């Protein structure tokens, strides 16, 4: 049978219910039809849809779909002749079902360029010792006494509660390094729920070489100066907080989806899917050499930039996410992947199917 040139090709099985003759081909809309006057079934990929409408209501010539007792060759010719007719009739229905998202369906986060992902699901956290990156196997060592908060308090599944004292995570790098490397581009993303302000810098997520302080990418807020944003320091250049940040306190007691991107020349800062800031910062790459990744404080654990609040769904990319990808990730409840069995549980239906 012929192939139909389309953006989304679908495997088709045509079956006669009377004689069980099956024809397989590829088309825009898959139509599995039975011999007259039996019912109609649409089949596309691993989905199918049945209808109670008998074929004689939509087919002009019932002889076009007579059982193969007449001749398999004749039936195939007639099917080819009428394929376009069938496709046009059912295309809208097929596309509607194909694109439909069932209630509670998981939206997968963007995978392209994803370096690490901390879901903070209870299956990935040993709250006294470590939290595992479920994608690539990096481990965040626990410092202080943060809490594993129940799903009812979190954005997607479980999350981490930091009390603003000495609580933080420090990511242990791999070999070869995933953290201490040259970052030509970077995206930091997380959900955060801040419970209190304390008149200082507070680093929600921070990739940096502290205390050298020559290379920094940090989602942070500074309630002493009433501002929040995505701070970059690279190539001797840095964010000018007084003009590049959002000049107001970070909102309290509400979930915020924060994303910062940097491509060596431009910084974008998104809050809840909306671009709040875009500014030039032509520092070039964030260079390797002592880079560490801190969660809930800066990486050297000074206990001076800690936060008070919850963090959930932290992802780091080695490229800039587009505005559309940022929106996708804001809606995401996990990953559309299934890593190797050596990693912790990360599946389409399991990694964080519960969303607050």
pLDDT digits 0-9 by tens, 100-120:
445 455 578 999 999 999 999
Domain spans of the chain? 10-99, 108-335
Cα angle 159-162-166, degrees, rounded to a multiple of 5: 145
The 3-state DSSP composition of the chain as helix, strand, coil percent (nearest 5) reads 15, 40, 45
Torsion of CA 101, 107, 113, 115, to 10 degrees: -160
Q: What's the fold here for domain 108-335?
A: Jelly Rolls (2.60.120)
- The terminus-to-terminus CA distance of the chain in angstroms comes to 49
Model pTM? Answer: 0.70
pLDDT value, residue 58: 35
What pLDDT does 23 receive?
54
Structure tokens at 122: 């209870």
Low-confidence ranges of the chain (pLDDT < 70): 1-106, 336-356
Question: Do 352 and 103 contact (CB within 8 A), yes or no?
Answer: no
Residue 115 — φ and ψ, nearest 5°?
-95, -45
How far is 85 from 208, CA to CA, in rounded Å? 61
Give every strand in the sheet of 39-44, ordered side by side.
31-33, 39-44, 47-54
CA distance 63 to 65: 5
Residue spans of alpha helices (H) in the chain: 72-99, 241-244, 323-331
């Amino acid at each position: 049978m012929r192939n139909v040139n389309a953006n989304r090709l679908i495997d088709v099985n045509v079956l006669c219910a009377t004689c069980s003759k099956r024809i397989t081909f590829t088309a825009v809309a898959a139509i599995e039809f039975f011999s007259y006057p039996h019912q109609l079934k649409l089949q596309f990929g691993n989905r199918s849809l049945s209808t109670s409408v008998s074929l004689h209501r939509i087919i002009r010539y019932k002889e076009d779909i007579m059982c193969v007792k007449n001749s398999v060759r004749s039936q195939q010719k007639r099917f080819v002749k009428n394929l376009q007719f069938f496709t046009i009739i059912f295309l809208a229905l097929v596309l509607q079902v194909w694109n439909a998202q069932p209630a509670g369906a998981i939206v997968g986060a963007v995978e392209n360029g994803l370096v690490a992902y901390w879901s903070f699901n209870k299956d990935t956290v040993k709250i006294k010792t470590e939290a595992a990156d479920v994608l690539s196997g990096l481990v965040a060592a626990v410092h202080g006494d943060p809490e594993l908060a129940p799903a009812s308090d979190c954005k997607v599944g479980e999350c981490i509660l930091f009390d603003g004292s000495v609580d933080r995570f420090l990511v242990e790098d791999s070999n070869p390094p995933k953290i201490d490397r040259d970052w030509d581009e970077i995206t930091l993303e997380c959900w955060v729920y801040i419970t209190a302000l304390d008149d200082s810098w507070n680093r929600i997520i921070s990739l940096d070489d502290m205390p050298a302080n020559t290379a920094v990418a940090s989602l942070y807020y500074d309630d002493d100066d009433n501002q929040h944003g995505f701070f970059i320091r690279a190539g001797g250049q840095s964010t000018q907080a007084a003009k590049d940040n959002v000049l107001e306190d970070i909102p309290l007691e509400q979930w915020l989806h924060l994303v910062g991107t940097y491509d060596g020349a431009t910084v974008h800062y998104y809050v809840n899917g909306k671009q709040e800031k875009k500014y030039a910062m032509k520092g070039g790459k964030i260079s390797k050499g002592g880079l560490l990744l801190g969660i809930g404080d800066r990486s050297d654990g000074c206990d001076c930039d800690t936060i008070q609040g919850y963090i959930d769904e932290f992802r780091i990319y080695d490229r800039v996410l587009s505005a559309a990808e940022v929106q996708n990730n804001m809606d995401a409840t996990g990953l559309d992947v299934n890593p190797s069995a050596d990693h912790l549980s990360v599946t389409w239906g399991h990694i964080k199917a519960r969303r607050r």
